[in-house]
């Protein structure tokens, strides 16, 4: 409750908002800001690796991720942490494989790159799909997940959501991508400090790591509680209904390639880099940061579960996402409580600003500029700001429907659509870079076939779960719906890749002269590897991922 916060806690939260708005104003009035489209949408292409990496991390780590991962920790659902670890490996691909092509072509958006590689039809497909996904799922989920943050400080959800949406929209409109990435950098470090404090004080209150493990073992002996190994094992048997190890190891990277390497929401940060070296180092820095959620989001959830068993804090296991807010309000000291809440608000606002900015960029570059090719730089910026304002209004208008959608179960499936539409996009981008003979006809057929299959699975799954239709387990449709969503992503990726290749082989190839900047060239593939600091950082990052997989697989792969 608001009454549990001291004057110092409230002052810290107010100061946080003040700093964020000051940074936005500074970014908008910076001497390097000419007021053109490059400055507004790509931060003047002058970003260094530190701000790029921090912005990549902060944009991804929204309050829904923090609360969701910590909730998974409280439920003993350790495999969910694999999504964070695998992201570190995929960010290596972003820096070494994808970014060079994006920067050399000078594109503003991912759909624009798809047009350069394939056709205008492919560009239109990705633009429409991306904008709808941002408005209906990303923005909505980010706002809704903020409910627990606002309840933590005693502010009603609707009031707090409106304040955050308006404040975030204000600084996004004011400073564009430069304001977003610089505020992201500050928000990333506030978030890290706040969540690290929760981890340290939670473990201290519990009496240390060994005592926590003992509490988990005692709790596991009681019926209905998860076994101890569930809190420390990243891997599950093949037959696991949620996160089988095969799905995590082979399916999750497919979703990662789409999200981290081809989604405007994320990639736009690397497009703002001053050069390829800063872009690559930024991606690698973000990769290192992505290893932290295991310790600062998941482990606090485990600590919260142990504290719950000892009666030190209160929250319902039916809504385990309350674990982290319960720890913040339960025992964090004055000052750190305000800092931790500011960290959660930072996560919420950084993700929301990124969604606003990437959506307005797509609307401006892929639609407005195409409709008005003679538009001036100021016209583009003006429309981009107007687009952001419209998105803010749409977001506010969407809020009243969100609770109803959550109650009906559809909101979960709106999120699932990301898993069902990503495989064809990942296939088209990845194979398009590797092989010149992959053509536009193959790409558009693969995109639409993959989209139709994914949406069919999404709709059928929702209708079956809601009881609208009754599907027998032994029927063909029943077996189709029983496929784990990560396995489904892998199968769909392979299927779309086959379609992409078959249609491309049976249709006319694109002129090679048009593909020089958007595909690997023989001279690039046959180069001699020169060791560099980036290569060293990459090897160390891979080593850390393997170490985490080893440490958190004490019980091995049971299947």
Supply 210's token pair.
């060994």
What's the average model confidence in pLDDT over 156-162? 73
The least confident of 25-34, 306-315, 344-353 is 25-34
* CA angle, 528 then 534 then 539, to 5°: 90
Residue 262: per-residue pLDDT = 94
Q: How far apart are CA 554 and CA 557, in angstroms?
A: 9
Distances (CA, A) of 306 to 70, 208, 312, 484: 13, 11, 9, 30
Residue 412: per-residue pLDDT = 47
Residue 555: per-residue pLDDT = 47
What's the average model confidence in pLDDT over 258-271? 90
Closest CA relative to residue 14, chosen from 501, 341, 368: 341
Q: How far apart are CA 441 and CA 509, in angstroms?
A: 9
Q: Of residues 558 and 282, which shows the higher confidence score?
A: 282
pLDDT reading at 541 higher than 90: yes
Beta bridge partners of 47: 273
Q: Is the whole model's pTM more than 0.85, yes or no?
A: yes
Q: Of residues 319 and 289, which shows the higher confidence score?
A: 289
Strands (E) across 328-367 are located at: none
Find the farthest-apart pair of alpha carbons in the chain and give their distance in angstroms, rounded.
71
Provide the pLDDT confidence category of residue 146 given band limits of 50, 70 and 90.
low
How is the chain split into domains, by residue range?
A: 38-404, 409-527
Mean pLDDT, the chain, rounded, equals 83
Q: Of residues 513 and 140, which shows the higher confidence score?
A: 513
Give the CB-side neighbour count of residue 315, counting CA atoms within 13 A.
Answer: 28
What's the average model confidence in pLDDT over 139-162? 70
Q: Work out the angle between the directed axes of helices 440-466 and 410-434 (0-180°, nearest 10).
A: 160
Q: Work out the angle between the directed axes of helices 276-289 and 533-551 (0-180°, nearest 10).
A: 20
Strands (E) across 11-104 are located at: none
Give the length of the chain.
559
The least confident of 54-63, 68-77, 345-354, 377-386 is 345-354
What's the average model confidence in pLDDT over 465-470? 76
Residues 21-63 pLDDT 10s: 787 777 666 655 555 566 666 655 778 899 899 889 888 887 6
- Per-residue H/E/C for 203-260: HHHHCCHHHHHHHHHHHHCCCCCCCHHHHCCCCCCCCCCCCCHHHHHHHHHHHHHHHH
Q: Where do we find the tokens 């400090």?
A: 193
Q: Is 36 helix (H, G, I), strand (E, B) or coil?
A: coil
Residues 375-395 pLDDT 10s: 888 888 889 889 888 887 877
* CA angle, 30 then 34 then 37, to 5°: 115
Supply 513's token pair.
């002269």
Q: How far apart are CA 382 and CA 5, in angstroms?
A: 41
The superfamily in CATH containing domain 38-404 is Sodium/glucose cotransporter (1.20.1730.10)
Q: How far apart are CA 345 and CA 177, in angstroms?
A: 19
Residue 521: per-residue pLDDT = 73
Q: How far apart are CA 51 and CA 53, in angstroms?
A: 6
What's the average model confidence in pLDDT over 452-468? 83
φ, ψ dihedrals at 47, nearest 5°:
-85, 140
The least confident of 37-46, 299-308, 370-379 is 37-46
Residues 405-425 pLDDT 10s: 454 444 444 456 677 889 999
Distances (CA, A) of 359 to 47, 165, 390: 20, 15, 11
């Amino acid at each position: 409750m608001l009454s549990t916060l001291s004057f110092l806690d409230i002052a810290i939260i107010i100061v946080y908002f003040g700093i964020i708005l000051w940074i936005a104003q500074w970014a908008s009035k910076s001497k390097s800001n000419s007021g053109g489209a490059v400055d507004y949408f790509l931060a003047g292409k002058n970003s260094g690796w530190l701000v790029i990496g921090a912005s990549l991390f902060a944009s991804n780590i929204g309050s829904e991720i923090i609360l969701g991962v910590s909730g998974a920790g409280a439920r003993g659902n350790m495999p969910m942490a694999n999504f964070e670890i695998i992201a570190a490996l995929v960010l290596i691909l972003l820096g070494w494989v994808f970014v060079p092509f994006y920067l050399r072509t000078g594109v503003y958006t991912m759909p624009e790159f798809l047009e350069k590689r394939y056709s205008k039809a492919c560009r239109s497909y990705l633009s429409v799909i991306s904008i709808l996904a941002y408005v209906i799922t990303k923005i909505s989920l980010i706002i809704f997940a903020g409910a627990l943050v606002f309840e933590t400080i005693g502010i009603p959800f609707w009031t707090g959501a409106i304040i955050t949406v308006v404040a975030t929209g204000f600084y996004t409109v004011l400073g564009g991508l430069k304001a977003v990435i610089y505020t992201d950098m500050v928000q990333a470090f506030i978030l890290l400090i706040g969540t690290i404090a929760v981890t340290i004080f939670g473990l201290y209150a519990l009496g240390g790591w060994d005592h926590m493990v003992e509490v988990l073992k005692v709790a596991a002996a009681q019926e209905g509680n998860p076994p101890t190994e569930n809190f420390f094992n990243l891997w599950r048997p093949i037959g696991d209904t949620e996160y089988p190890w095969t799905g995590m190891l082979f399916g999750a990277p497919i979703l990662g390639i789409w999200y981290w390497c081809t989604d405007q929401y994320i990639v736009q940060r690397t497009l703002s880099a001053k050069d390829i070296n800063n872009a690559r180092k930024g991606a690698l820095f973000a990769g290192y940061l992505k290893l932290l959620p295991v310790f600062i989001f998941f482990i606090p959830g485990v600590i919260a579960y142990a504290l719950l068993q000892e009666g030190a804090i209160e929250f319902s296991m039916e809504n385990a996402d309350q674990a982290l807010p319960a720890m913040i309000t339960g025992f964090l000291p004055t000052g750190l409580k305000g800092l931790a809440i500011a960290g959660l608000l930072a996560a919420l606002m950084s993700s929301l600003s990124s969604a606003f900015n990437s959506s307005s960029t797509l609307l401006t570059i892929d639609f407005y500029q195409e409709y008005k090719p003679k538009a001036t730089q100021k016209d583009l910026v003006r429309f981009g700001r107007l687009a952001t304002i419209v998105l803010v209004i749409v977001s506010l208008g969407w809020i009243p429907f969100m609770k109803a959608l959550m109650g009906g179960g559809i909101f979960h499936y709106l999120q699932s659509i990301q898993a069902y539409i990503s495989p064809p996009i990942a296939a088209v981008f990845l194979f398009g870079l590797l092989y010149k003979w992959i053509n536009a006809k193959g790409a558009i057929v693969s995109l639409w076939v993959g989209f139709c299959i994914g949406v069919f699975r999404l709709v059928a799954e929702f209708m079956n779960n809601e009881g609208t239709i009754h599907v027998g387990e032994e029927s063909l449709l029943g077996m189709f719906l029983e496929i784990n969503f990560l396995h489904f992503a892998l199968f769909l990726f392979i299927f779309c890749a086959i379609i992409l290749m078959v249609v491309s082989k049976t249709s006319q190839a694109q002129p090679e002269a048009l593909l020089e900047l958007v595909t690997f060239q023989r001279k690039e593939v046959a180069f001699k590897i020169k060791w560099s600091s980036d290569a060293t950082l990459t090897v160390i990052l891979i080593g850390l991922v393997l170490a985490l997989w080893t440490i958190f697989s004490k019980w091995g792969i049971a299947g």
